[in-house]
Copies of this chain bind each other. A is one copy, B any other.
């Protein structure tokens, strides 16, 4: 386990040392979802003691803001206006309202899961497939989010880094280190195991509510530092989630812009949950001093798509 931040050359070495290519067969498209087993799911249900559910999603807002330069679209095909007064001009026979919504879910605003089709390294996808299989006209002809159609229902674990460090939030450009995660294990009494979804709180969403939105592309971001990758590999987590876009920015590495996404998705086949809302979850965990819970994520069954917006539910 690195005690300090790895050099770029060390991170480049992860592409080989942490690789899961071939581990589950040459044709595997599931990557770390292979760690999810019925036994794991069954065991997660035993964590439920109260029946209280907590959403780990941010609200999708349709207005532009600094971290949403291209806002999602929400247009009413039909609204409730005019029905009462009777001077309604509509082709509909029933009184109803209908929406269109559209979005680019990748980015820094919408809570979403990345499928393994989202990132490439040197022209290759996870497990060695060529990047051009993610096609302009046909989308993700391999590694589509549809592969997760039966959901991710397993144990979730919250590592609340600001609590561990005794700060309000981590600074932008700064990274979560494996030491933070190990300290959380010790202090909170859990041990991260195969098939877990690891949720790492940096406090960035809290900071946004205090200081307002910033543009992560310009102002930077915090997240797990690349140093955490060997730990994720060793423990066999099924998915990594955080309250940011899951990469420290700037990375400090000239050639590696997104080590968590690049090593994680491409080499390890690691599924990633970006921009989660861990505020309500953090509160729920602190109140109970319980940091593990049943977690249920049902990505939309979008064909040939590189991910999906989600509303992950933690169940206590």
Contacts and interface: CB of A to CB of B under 8 A. Distances in A.
A136 B81 contact: yes
B60 A303 contact: yes
A117 B295 CA distance: 28
A244 interface: no
A289 interface: no
Contacts of A78: 136-137
Nearest to A151: B313
A192 to B, nearest CB: 19
A95 B92 CA distance: 24
Interface in A274-316: 294, 296-307, 309-313, 315
Contacts of A40: 51
Given A146-B59, A306-B97, A69 B64 contact: yes
Interface string A81-117: 1111101111111111111111111100001000001
Interface stretch (A119-127, A164-172, A226-234): A119-127
Contacts of A11: none
Interface residues of A, number: 110
A140 interface: yes
A41 B45 contact: no
Interface string A117-151: 11111111100001111111111110000100111
A71 B89 CA distance: 22
Given A42-B49, A55-B149, A118 B97 contact: yes
A137 B90 contact: yes
Given A53-B150, A55-B301, A60-B300, A80 B125 contact: yes
A211 interface: no
A253 to B, nearest CB: 12
A101 B305 contact: yes
Contacts of A304: 62, 74
Given A54-B150, A80-B133, A306 B98 contact: yes
A153 interface: yes
Interface string A36-69: 0111111111001111111101111110100001
A296 B299 contact: no
A7 interface: no
A210 interface: no
A81 B99 CA distance: 17
A58 B119 CA distance: 26
Contacts of A96: 106, 118-120, 258, 261
Interface of A: 37-45, 48-55, 57-62, 64, 69-71, 73-85, 87-106, 111, 117-125, 130-141, 146, 149-151, 153, 257-258, 261-262, 294, 296-307, 309-313, 315
Given A84-B130, A296-B313, 8 more contacts: A57-B301, A62-B303, A75-B100, A82-B132, A84-B123, A84-B132, A89-B137, A298-B311
